Amino acid sequence: MFKHKPGSRKSQTLRMLLFVIGYFAVCLGGTLGLNIHLTGNTSFEYEPFVYLFFTVAPLIIFLVPLLVIYKISREKRGITLAQLLSAGTGGIGLAVRIVRVPATITLILCLVPGLSAFIISRIFGGVPAAGILRASLIMIIIGIFVLCLGFLCSIYCKNAYSAAGCALLVIVLICLEPLWFGPVIYATPNASYLIQPSLLINPFVGLASAIDFDLFRTSPLYQICPIGQRKFEYPAYTSVGLFYLLVSLVLFWRSAAGIRKTAEP
């Protein structure tokens, strides 16, 4: 059903391997460099660990939707509706087959920072493995969400540009939600019941909760986001993860239901 030129699979595997090696080297070197720069010693401390994950998270959140949109835009040019119908593949099976490469890249993007942090911490000591595991887990879940979001946009938007614009707009609104919704919470008396739902839908809050980092009381976020000036508790990272998994399931199901639109000319 999917056409490949001879040798293309081998070249794709080689490119993937080089990408993994390079990405791992950058994360490993960046982790060690951040630690030495911020702490001035060779003991792996907590601050570089936080910087590492909050540096990689935006890369994953904004890059992964574009990867799946690019993948599906290529498949739209190479697949006809007759081929899909004759193949007899269901929507779920076809969806899994189309997104397996972007999903593999997403998994690598999410796991390598944690692996590099784990290696550095085992050599120099410092951050507990449990914290690294929690951060990696929530990164994977967030990666799955943005993957499914990009998939849905690529199915229901007219072309790759509109799909990319729609996906990135939704992501920006979600990531900046504490900034544009924070003044509403601050101006509402007894608005504590609004804080938890507001924080639950923000991916960076889930990451902060996973690594026990008080994100909204850091400078300058404390000055520009009124939520940090209120008394509140961060939602558990398990709650954020479960919320994003459920949303991802709905997005993927809707994408699979409309997957045959990828074959339309």
Per-residue pLDDT at 88: 56
- Percent of all residues in the chain with a pLDDT value above 90, rounded to a whole number: 25
8 A C-beta contact, residue 225 and residue 182: yes
pTM: 0.84
Higher per-residue pLDDT: 120 or 145: 145
Q: Residue range 215-244: average pLDDT?
A: 84
Residue 189 class from Cβ within 10 Å (0-12 exposed, 13-18 middle, 19+ buried)?
Answer: exposed
Per-residue pLDDT at 80: 46
- Sign of torsion, CA 265 94 143 34? negative
Q: Residue range 216-228: average pLDDT?
A: 80
pLDDT for 171 beyond 90: yes
pLDDT for 43 beyond 70: no
pLDDT for 87 beyond 70: no
pLDDT for 68 beyond 70: yes
Q: Please provide residue 205's backbone torsions phi and psi, each rounded to the nearest 5 degrees.
A: -65, -40
- When pLDDT is cut at 50, 70 and 90, the band that residue 177 belongs to is confident
- When pLDDT is cut at 50, 70 and 90, the band that residue 38 belongs to is low
Q: Residue range 191-204: average pLDDT?
A: 81
Per-residue pLDDT at 131: 85
